[in-house]
Amino acid sequence: NAMANIFGSMLGFSVSAAFLSIFLPLVSNDIDVGNREFAIAHPVCYILLMGLVFGLVAAACSTIGLLVSVFQPNAFVSIAFAGLLFFLVVSYIPENSIFDVLSVILLLPTFTRDNETGFVDILWNILYPSLVIYICGVMFRIKLEWRVKNGYI
């Protein structure tokens, strides 16, 4: 499911960019991104990287919803929790924090806090949601095996 989210986001960003490139440039000169030179020099790579990071964040929210559904078995929890969680995280995590999800999605600098996104920032933008997916996936598996072992499923 997480891989489908990630590749679906990358495909969606690519198809949107392909259709919009007929009418608009892929990357405008007045964009507010962390690494403007990279975005202008390699717009396709930048769009794929944004799609990858957005897909990772969406998959992380879905994985947390899946983990919560093991503790509270309810269809509403597994379906609606991802959207609710994204709204809460965007609303309540401060903008200056390295855990700010919007900075991660927009590929803005998180550690350097200047106008140049470095390799460490891009690595963090990929590793942060990936670690959330991994930790929640492991916790989900442990709890699900416990529920099966004890006869709750």
Task: Write out pLDDT tens, residues 19-64.
Answer: 777 766 666 666 655 566 677 777 778 778 888 888 888 888 888 8
User: What pTM, to 2 d.p., does this model score?
Assistant: 0.78
Closest to 46 in 3D by CA, of 57, 55, 37: 37
Q: Is 49 exposed, middle or buried (0-12, 13-18, 19+ CB in 10 A)?
A: buried
67-93: average pLDDT: 81
* Angle subtended at Cα 74 by Cα 72 and Cα 75, rounded to the nearest 5 degrees: 140
Q: What pLDDT score was predicted for residue 30?
A: 64
Helix H or strand E segment including 48: helix 43-71
- The token pair at 77 is 């929890």
Place of tokens 């986001």: 9
- The token pair at 14 is 């690519």
